[in-house]
Amino acid sequence: MYLLGLLSIIYASLITIRQFDMKRIVAYSSIAHMNLIVIGIFVGVQQGLDGAIYLMIAHGIVSSGLFLTIGVVYDKYHSRLLRYYSGLVVMMPLFAFIFFLFTMANMSFPGTSNFVGEFLLLLGIFQVNSTLLFFAASGIVLSAIYSI
Protein backbone atom coordinates (compact mmCIF):
# COMPACT_ATOMS: atom_id res chain seq x y z
CA MET A 1 0.00 0.00 0.00
CA TYR A 2 2.93 2.31 0.71
CA LEU A 3 4.35 1.86 -2.78
CA LEU A 4 0.95 2.27 -4.42
CA GLY A 5 0.27 5.43 -2.41
CA LEU A 6 3.69 6.93 -3.18
CA LEU A 7 3.46 6.21 -6.87
CA SER A 8 -0.03 7.71 -6.98
CA ILE A 9 1.10 10.85 -5.13
CA ILE A 10 4.00 11.45 -7.49
CA TYR A 11 2.08 10.50 -10.65
CA ALA A 12 -0.98 12.61 -9.81
CA SER A 13 1.23 15.57 -8.88
CA LEU A 14 3.17 15.35 -12.14
CA ILE A 15 -0.09 15.18 -14.10
CA THR A 16 -1.36 18.20 -12.18
CA ILE A 17 1.71 20.23 -13.15
CA ARG A 18 0.92 19.69 -16.84
CA GLN A 19 -2.73 20.83 -16.67
CA PHE A 20 -4.07 24.16 -17.91
CA ASP A 21 -7.69 23.68 -16.82
CA MET A 22 -8.27 24.89 -13.26
CA LYS A 23 -10.90 22.28 -12.49
CA ARG A 24 -8.55 19.48 -13.51
CA ILE A 25 -5.76 20.98 -11.40
CA VAL A 26 -7.94 20.81 -8.29
CA ALA A 27 -9.18 17.32 -9.16
CA TYR A 28 -5.73 15.83 -9.69
CA SER A 29 -4.35 17.56 -6.61
CA SER A 30 -7.18 15.94 -4.65
CA ILE A 31 -5.98 12.54 -5.86
CA ALA A 32 -2.50 13.28 -4.53
CA HIS A 33 -3.85 14.41 -1.15
CA MET A 34 -6.11 11.37 -0.83
CA ASN A 35 -3.17 9.05 -1.45
CA LEU A 36 -1.25 10.76 1.33
CA ILE A 37 -4.24 10.01 3.54
CA VAL A 38 -4.11 6.36 2.47
CA ILE A 39 -0.46 6.13 3.51
CA GLY A 40 -1.30 7.81 6.82
CA ILE A 41 -4.01 5.25 7.52
CA PHE A 42 -1.82 2.27 6.68
CA VAL A 43 1.17 3.31 8.81
CA GLY A 44 -0.91 2.25 11.79
CA VAL A 45 0.24 4.79 14.38
CA GLN A 46 -1.98 7.28 16.17
CA GLN A 47 -0.48 10.43 14.58
CA GLY A 48 -1.00 8.97 11.11
CA LEU A 49 -4.64 8.19 11.80
CA ASP A 50 -5.29 11.55 13.45
CA GLY A 51 -3.61 13.35 10.56
CA ALA A 52 -5.62 11.34 8.04
CA ILE A 53 -8.91 12.23 9.69
CA TYR A 54 -7.97 15.88 10.06
CA LEU A 55 -6.73 16.12 6.47
CA MET A 56 -9.91 14.48 5.16
CA ILE A 57 -12.04 17.13 6.82
CA ALA A 58 -9.73 20.03 5.92
CA HIS A 59 -9.31 18.85 2.35
CA GLY A 60 -13.07 18.56 1.96
CA ILE A 61 -13.46 22.20 2.93
CA VAL A 62 -10.52 23.48 0.89
CA SER A 63 -11.23 21.57 -2.30
CA SER A 64 -14.92 22.52 -2.11
CA GLY A 65 -13.90 26.16 -1.74
CA LEU A 66 -11.56 25.87 -4.73
CA PHE A 67 -14.26 24.27 -6.87
CA LEU A 68 -16.67 27.03 -5.79
CA THR A 69 -14.21 29.79 -6.72
CA ILE A 70 -13.48 28.15 -10.07
CA GLY A 71 -17.23 28.03 -10.73
CA VAL A 72 -17.53 31.74 -9.95
CA VAL A 73 -14.68 32.59 -12.31
CA TYR A 74 -16.16 30.32 -14.98
CA ASP A 75 -19.44 32.24 -14.79
CA LYS A 76 -17.54 35.49 -15.38
CA TYR A 77 -15.02 34.44 -18.05
CA HIS A 78 -16.74 31.32 -19.53
CA SER A 79 -13.43 29.49 -19.46
CA ARG A 80 -11.45 27.46 -16.95
CA LEU A 81 -8.11 27.89 -18.71
CA LEU A 82 -5.34 29.57 -16.74
CA ARG A 83 -4.34 32.03 -19.44
CA TYR A 84 -7.68 33.85 -19.22
CA TYR A 85 -7.31 34.61 -15.49
CA SER A 86 -4.63 37.29 -15.84
CA GLY A 87 -6.82 40.30 -14.91
CA LEU A 88 -8.60 38.64 -12.02
CA VAL A 89 -6.92 40.70 -9.28
CA VAL A 90 -7.83 43.99 -10.97
CA MET A 91 -11.46 43.03 -11.62
CA MET A 92 -12.20 41.14 -8.37
CA PRO A 93 -9.58 41.88 -5.68
CA LEU A 94 -11.43 40.43 -2.67
CA PHE A 95 -12.33 37.30 -4.61
CA ALA A 96 -8.70 36.92 -5.75
CA PHE A 97 -7.60 37.10 -2.11
CA ILE A 98 -10.06 34.37 -1.11
CA PHE A 99 -8.91 32.26 -4.06
CA PHE A 100 -5.31 32.82 -2.93
CA LEU A 101 -6.12 31.67 0.61
CA PHE A 102 -7.72 28.47 -0.67
CA THR A 103 -4.72 27.87 -2.91
CA MET A 104 -2.33 28.33 0.01
CA ALA A 105 -4.40 25.90 2.06
CA ASN A 106 -4.35 23.41 -0.84
CA MET A 107 -0.56 23.41 -0.86
CA SER A 108 -0.52 23.03 2.95
CA PHE A 109 1.04 26.37 3.77
CA PRO A 110 1.81 26.72 7.51
CA GLY A 111 -1.11 28.25 9.36
CA THR A 112 -3.74 26.60 7.18
CA SER A 113 -5.93 23.63 7.99
CA ASN A 114 -4.25 21.23 5.56
CA PHE A 115 -0.86 21.93 7.11
CA VAL A 116 -1.91 20.49 10.46
CA GLY A 117 -3.23 17.30 8.86
CA GLU A 118 -0.20 16.79 6.64
CA PHE A 119 2.18 17.53 9.51
CA LEU A 120 0.52 14.87 11.67
CA LEU A 121 0.55 12.45 8.74
CA LEU A 122 4.24 13.00 8.10
CA LEU A 123 4.98 12.67 11.80
CA GLY A 124 3.24 9.30 11.83
CA ILE A 125 5.03 8.20 8.68
CA PHE A 126 8.37 9.20 10.22
CA GLN A 127 7.72 6.94 13.21
CA VAL A 128 7.40 3.96 10.89
CA ASN A 129 9.87 4.60 8.05
CA SER A 130 12.03 7.63 7.32
CA THR A 131 12.62 6.63 3.68
CA LEU A 132 8.87 6.55 3.16
CA LEU A 133 8.72 10.02 4.71
CA PHE A 134 11.22 11.36 2.18
CA PHE A 135 9.14 10.21 -0.79
CA ALA A 136 5.85 11.28 0.80
CA ALA A 137 7.31 14.73 1.47
CA SER A 138 8.25 14.99 -2.20
CA GLY A 139 4.52 15.22 -2.83
CA ILE A 140 4.48 18.39 -0.73
CA VAL A 141 7.22 19.90 -2.88
CA LEU A 142 5.30 18.97 -6.02
CA SER A 143 2.17 20.45 -4.44
CA ALA A 144 3.94 23.78 -4.05
CA ILE A 145 5.01 23.64 -7.70
CA TYR A 146 1.57 23.07 -9.16
CA SER A 147 -0.13 25.48 -6.77
CA ILE A 148 2.16 28.34 -7.68
User: What pLDDT is attached to residue 85?
Assistant: 80
CA distances 147 to 4, 22, 49, 50, 126, Å, are: 23, 10, 26, 25, 25
User: What pLDDT is attached to residue 148?
Assistant: 84
Q: What average pLDDT does the segment 3-20 reach? A: 93
Q: What is the pLDDT of residues 32-67, one digit of tens each?
A: 999 999 999 999 899 999 999 999 999 999 999 999
User: What pLDDT is attached to residue 125?
Assistant: 93
The whole-angstrom distance between residue 9's C-alpha and the CA centroid of its chain comes to 10
User: What pLDDT is attached to residue 88?
Assistant: 81
Q: What is the pLDDT of residues 63-79, one digit of tens each?
A: 999 999 999 989 988 88
Is residue 102 scored above 90 in pLDDT? yes
Is residue 127 scored above 90 in pLDDT? yes
Q: What average pLDDT does the segment 127-138 reach? A: 90
Percent of the chain with pLDDT over 70: 100
Is residue 89 scored above 90 in pLDDT? no
What Rg value do the Cα atoms of the chain yield, rounded? 16
User: What pLDDT is attached to residue 80?
Assistant: 86
Contact 25, 63 (CB under 8 A): no
